[in-house]
Structure formats: structure tokens, C-alpha cells
């Protein structure tokens, strides 16, 4: 007995709300491009960035509309607030302040709001340090709220009619909920991380964490459906928010056939010697991703260069490291590339490294995009032996697991991979590609998402 054919898609309108510029967000690209290929009208509402157009037609067939967003735009009477700010700056400049201040009075290059650095510490006394950390938490919370409000205001003016809204991440879902309420359309919350235990939110004070957690719980409950990227995340979210277990749509890549023979994109772009082996870290330049540990490890990996492919808050610091003669030119940096080109770059690497640090619950349970991108590109990995990604690495045999906090262990794992004989490496790469083609691919994940979209709108997608 043959299975009934799937219903043909009924053309519908989807709006994806993203709290970034949409240049490098692979998940948004994959969802939008897959929907557009099926004949749906897709609009991505994003933030305007330097040099980017306010409206752009993506080659994959969807539209990106970007709006200017600052925290000031979220305040009442933003024009008046800017005028007062500019006046105070001019007065300050006339008085000679703003230049020549003692170093102790200014925030460090890595400082966050309130002059507190990435570790949440300051040079103040213990008591004033506690107060300052609490103040920084308040500032972060207000900045988040005002930025979301600003993007929501601007997005309303450019948002087209939609049958479904898809809110990306913690700062995208409140905007999507507001738009969905106005149009009486279902809203999906794409919770791609455990945000309360990630990044700056993980460093908030207790009261601020409670407020943020309470807000996100409310958004999750108001959403028509919550989706996330792996089962460990789904279990945490269901327990915290008291919602149905989120639908799992993994961050896999499209099926991809690596070029044969292999390309040498990194060698060509950086002028590397043809015999140099390329170790790639791809993704955000931020703390706790294992970048510092990789830099320490690469010194003990002969004939190899570490290439950091991406962008983020550590850019200036990493530029200084790469320029330091002490690294011997073995740490190189390249800007992020669009999702449409990423796998071609990854496929030309010898190994992809992702020693994410076990500093937060979010990191311990993560299954990062870069793991699935390496699988699709047929490149072995050196990955953190953590509960999120380790089971996939073991199941597929796609790499070596390490203690991510130990640069010596990371270096040993890199040497092990790079010392693999050519015939065995060919088999290893084929094993990675097969796992991606058969199991860990976007086509299978999109089928899951399309079925949920159809349930929410009552028409097949």
C-alpha cells in the first residue's frame, strides 16, 4: 500500500522577525529560502546596519526589510532625547572632559554597560562593586527593553500582511507577538538558545534575571508554538515555562556535495603555503566559544594555521593577537561570509574546531550550527565533550571530543586529526557527508517545520 501524496503547498505569507541585520543568520536564510522555493511570500524584518539597504531582494527569492534601531528610539520623544544628549556632549567637550581622563575612570575595551567587563568585575570596593554590578544589570535590562520597543515601532510601519509570524530569538519574539496580535495571525517563538543562561543575560543580577525570565516565560506562553534546536534545550524550556515540549527543528545545513578535488579558499585568500594545514573556527567572536583556548593550542600543532572566520565583540582584541609577532603568523582572521557561500569555505578546511566552554547551561547543552556545517561539508571536527554535542559526534564518528578548557588536550586532538593518513581521511570525510545527507540535513528539518506551520494556519505549506 503506497502512502498518500503530500498535499501541494497553498501559497501563504510568512514574516520572520530577526533582531540582527540578517546578513549572516543561517537559520533565517534556510527557513526563508525554503519557503520562497515552495512559492510562499516571505519577508524578513531585520535591523538596519552600516552600508546596508533598507530593503533588499535576496537572490533566494525573499525580501529583507531593515529598520533603524537604537535604545533611544524606544524612549518617548526620541528626537528631544537626542537633542538633550547632543547638547550635554557639547557642554562636556567645552569643559575639556572626555579627553585625558585617568584610565581608572574609563571603561576598558571589553567593558559592558556601566564599565563592567565580560567577567562582571570592576576595580571598585566589594560593596560598591556589588552596587555597580546591579546597576549594570538594570542598564542591560533597560537597553534590551528600549531596543525591542524601538524595533517594534519601526517594524509596524514596514510590516506586510502575513498569515504567520516567526519570531527569532529572545529579542525577536516580543516584536513578532505584537505584529501577530495586530494581524490576528499565529506566532512561532524560535528559541534558539537558553537565553537566560547565555551571554550577558547569564551575568545579570538575581532580581534582573528573575524579571527577564518572567518576561520570556510570558512570551513563550503567548506564542502559538515554541520551537528550539535540540532535545536538551526543549526539556529545559518545557520545565521552566510550563509549556508543551517545544518542537525540535535542528540547525542543520542543506544537503551539500563537497567539491572534488577540494578547493583551497583559505590558502588563496591568506597566501598560505600549500603544505599548511588549516584549522577553522567559524562563528561569533565572543567569550567562552573556545577561541582563546584554540589560540593557545595552535602553537603546539606543527604546520598548521588557525583561521578565525566570523565577527563579533572580540574583533579588535583578536586583530591584535593575529598581528602579534609572538603568534608567528599562525593565527589569521577573515570576515564572515554569507550563508550561501559558507559551506564552500568550510569544505576547504582540514578540521573545524569548536571547543565551546562549559561556562553556562546554554553552552553545555548546545548543538552549534558549526557542527552541522562541518558535517555537511565533510570536514572532521574537534569538539567539546559536553552533553549537547558529544552524542552527535560519537554517533556519527565525525570527530574527536576533548576537554575544552585544556589547550594541551585541544592541541593533541588537532594533531591526531591532522596526522590521519590520506586514505583514512577520505573515508572520514565521506562518513561526515553521509551523516549529513541521511540524517542531519535541513530538508528533513524543514519538513517538520512545514507540518507545524500547516497545523497553525490550517493550510499546507
pLDDT digits (tens, 9 = 90+) for 123-162: 344 455 555 554 554 555 577 788 899 999 999 999 999 9
Average pLDDT over residues 346-366: 97
| Domain spans of the chain, in order of start | 13-71+143-252+443-457, 265-440
Mean pLDDT, the chain, integer: 88
Find the range with the poorest average confidence among 30-34, 56-60, 121-125, 352-356: 121-125
Q: What is the DSSP letter of 461?
A: -
Give the C-alpha separation, 376 to 384, whole Å.
Answer: 19
- CATH top class, domain 13-71+143-252+443-457: alpha beta
pTM of the model: 0.83
Q: Taking the alpha carbons of 101, 106, 109, 113 in that order, is the dihedral positive or negative?
A: negative
Question: Do the beta carbons of residue 305 and residue 276 sit within 8 Å?
Answer: yes
CA torsion through residues 219, 223, 226, 227, sign:
negative
The predicted structure's pLDDT at residue 114: 27
How large is the average pLDDT for residues 381-386? 98
Per-residue pLDDT reduced to its tens digit, 267-301: 999 999 999 999 999 999 999 999 999 999 999 99
For the segment 248-274, the average pLDDT, to the nearest whole number, is: 96
Quote the Cα angle for 399-400-404, to 5°. 125
Residue 368 scores a pLDDT above 80: yes
Task: Determine the Cα–Cα distance for residues 368 and 200; give it in Å rounded to an integer.
Answer: 18
Q: Are 72 and 84 in contact (CB under 8 A)?
A: no
CA 117/CA 214 separation, integer angstroms: 26
Q: What is the pLDDT of residue 120?
A: 35
Cβ atoms of 291 and 284 within 8 Å: the answer is no
- Reported as type and span, the H/E element at residue 452 is helix 442-457
User: What's the rounded mean pLDDT across residues 31-52?
Assistant: 97
Q: Higher model confidence: residue 106 or residue 184? A: 184
pLDDT digits (tens, 9 = 90+) for 398-415: 999 999 999 999 999 999
Residues facing 305 on adjacent strands: 278
In DSSP notation, 263-305 reads: P-HHHHHHT--TT-EEEEEEEE--TTSSHHHHHHHHTTSTTEE
What share of the chain in percent tops pLDDT 90?
Answer: 78
- Measured over the CA atoms of residue 449, residue 455, residue 456 and residue 459, the dihedral's sign is positive
pLDDT over threshold 70, residue 104: no
Cell readout for 369 is: 550550527
The pLDDT of 205-210, averaged and rounded, is: 86
Question: What is the predicted pLDDT for the residue at 111?
Answer: 33
Structure confidence at residue 123 (pLDDT): 38
Residues above pLDDT 70, as percent of the chain: 84
pLDDT of residue 202: 83
CA distance 190 to 8: 25
Mean pLDDT for the stretch of residues 94-106: 50
Please tell me the distance from the alpha carbon of residue 129 to that of residue 259, in angstroms, as a whole number: 54
Is it the case that residue 433 has pLDDT exceeding 70? yes
For domain 265-440, the CATH class is alpha beta
What is the C-alpha to C-alpha distance for residues 134 and 120, in angstroms, rounded to an integer? Answer: 10
Taking a C-beta distance cutoff of 8 angstroms, is the pair 255, 436 a contact?
yes
Instruction: Report the pLDDT value the prediction gives residue 97, as an integer from 0 to 100.
Output: 57
pLDDT tier for residue 206 given thresholds of 50, 70 and 90: confident
Distance of CA 182 to the CA centre of its chain: 29
- Mean pLDDT for 103-119 is 32
What strand order describes the sheet that includes 351-354?
A: 331-335, 304-311, 277-284, 351-354, 381-384, 399-402
For residue 120, the tally of other CB atoms under 10 A from its CB is 18
- Identical topology for domains 13-71+143-252+443-457 and 265-440: yes
Query: Tell me, what's the pLDDT at 86?
Result: 62
Q: Are 318 and 306 in contact (CB under 8 A)?
A: no
Q: When comparing pLDDT for 449 and 85, which is higher? A: 449
Q: What is the pLDDT of residue 105?
A: 35
Give Cα 313 distance to the centre of its chain: 13
Amino acid at each position: 500500500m503506497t502512502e498518500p501524496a503530500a498535499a501541494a503547498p497553498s501559497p501563504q505569507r510568512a514574516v520572520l522577525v530577526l533582531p540582527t541585520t540578517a546578513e549572516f543568520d543561517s537559520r533565517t536564510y534556510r527557513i526563508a529560502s525554503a519557503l520562497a522555493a515552495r512559492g510562499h511570500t516571505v519577508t524578513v524584518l531585520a535591523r538596519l546596519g552600516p552600508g546596508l539597504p533598507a530593503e533588499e531582494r535576496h537572490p533566494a527569492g525573499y525580501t529583507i526589510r531593515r529598520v533603524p534601531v537604537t535604545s533611544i528610539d524606544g524612549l518617548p520623544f526620541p528626537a528631544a532625547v537626542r537633542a538633550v544628549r547632543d547638547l550635554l556632549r557639547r557642554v562636556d567637550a567645552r569643559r575639556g572632559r572626555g579627553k585625558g581622563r585617568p584610565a581608572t575612570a574609563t571603561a576598558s575595551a571589553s567593558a559592558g554597560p556601566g564599565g563592567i567587563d565580560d567577567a562582571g568585575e570592576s576595580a571598585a570596593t566589594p560593596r560598591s562593586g556589588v552596587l555597580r554590578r546591579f546597576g549594570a544589570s538594570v542598564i542591560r535590562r533597560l537597553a534590551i527593553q528600549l531596543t525591542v520597543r524601538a524595533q517594534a515601532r519601526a517594524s509596524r510601519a514596514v510590516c506586510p500582511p502575513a498569515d504567520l509570524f516567526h519570531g527569532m530569538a529572545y529579542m525577536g519574539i516580543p516584536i513578532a507577538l505584537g505584529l501577530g496580535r495586530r494581524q490576528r495571525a499565529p506566532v512561532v517563538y524560535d528559541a534558539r538558545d537558553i537565553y537566560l543562561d547565555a551571554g550577558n543575560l547569564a551575568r545579570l543580577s538575581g532580581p534582573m534575571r528573575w524579571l527577564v525570565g518572567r518576561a520570556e516565560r510570558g512570551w513563550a506562553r503567548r506564542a502559538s508554538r515554541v520551537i528550539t534546536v535540540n532535545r536538551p534545550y526543549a526539556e529545559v524550556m518545557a520545565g521552566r515555562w510550563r509549556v508543551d515540549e517545544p518542537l525540535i527543528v535542528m540547525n542543520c545545513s542543506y544537503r551539500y556535495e563537497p567539491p572534488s578535488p577540494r578547493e583551497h579558499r583559505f590558502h588563496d585568500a591568506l597566501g598560505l603555503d600549500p603544505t599548511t594545514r588549516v584549522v577553522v573556527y567559524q562563528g561569533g567572536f565572543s567569550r567562552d566559544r573556545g577561541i582563546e583556548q584554540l589560540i593557545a593550542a595552535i602553537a603546539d600543532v606543527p604546520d598548521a594555521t588557525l583561521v578565525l572566520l566570523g565577527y563579533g565583540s572580540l574583533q579588535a582584541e583578536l586583530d591584535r593577537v593575529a598581528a602579534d609577532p609572538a603568534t608567528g603568523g599562525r593565527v589569521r582572521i577573515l570576515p564572515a561570509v554569507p550563508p550561501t557561500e559558507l559551506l564552500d569555505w568550510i569544505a576547504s578546511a582540514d578540521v573545524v574546531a569548536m571547543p565551546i566552554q562549559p561556562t553556562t547551561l546554554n553552552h553545555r547543552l548546545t548543538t552549534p550550527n558549526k557542527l552541522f556545517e562541518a558535517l555537511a561539508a565533510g570536514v572532521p571536527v574537534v569538539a567539546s565533550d559536553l552533553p549537547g554535542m558529544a552524542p552527535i559526534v560519537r554517533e556519527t564518528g565525525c570527530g574527536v571530543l576533548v576537554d575544552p578548557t585544556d589547550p594541551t588536550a585541544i592541541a593533541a586532538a588537532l594533531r591526531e586529526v591532522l596526522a590521519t593518513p590520506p586514505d583514512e581521511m577520505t573515508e572520514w570525510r565521506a562518513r561526515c557527508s553521509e551523516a549529513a545527507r541521511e540524517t542531519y540535513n535541513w530538508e528533513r528539518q524543514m519538513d517538520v517545520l512545514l507540518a507545524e506551520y500547516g497545523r497553525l494556519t490550517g493550510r499546507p505549506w
